[in-house]
Amino acid sequence: MDIEIKAWLYDILNAIIEIEGFFLNQTKDFINYQNDIRTKRATERN
């Protein structure tokens, strides 16, 4: 596999782990996500 592709996949994995951390103290309910502007914006930018 190309080193550049591995780097992209590594970045994607780290973003997923970080996004999961946004939801540690709350349920993964879409309504709650829509109403929490900080979590929503942080997730979308990641």
- CA–CA separation, 20 vs 39, rounded Å? 11
pLDDT > 80? residue 23: yes
Q: Which amino acid is at 7?
A: A
For the chain, what is the mean pLDDT?
90
> For the whole model, what pTM was predicted?
0.69
H or E element at residue 4: helix 3-21
pLDDT confidence of residue 18? 93
Name which of 17, 39, 13 is nearest 30 in CA terms.
Answer: 39
- CA–CA separation, 42 vs 3, rounded Å? 28
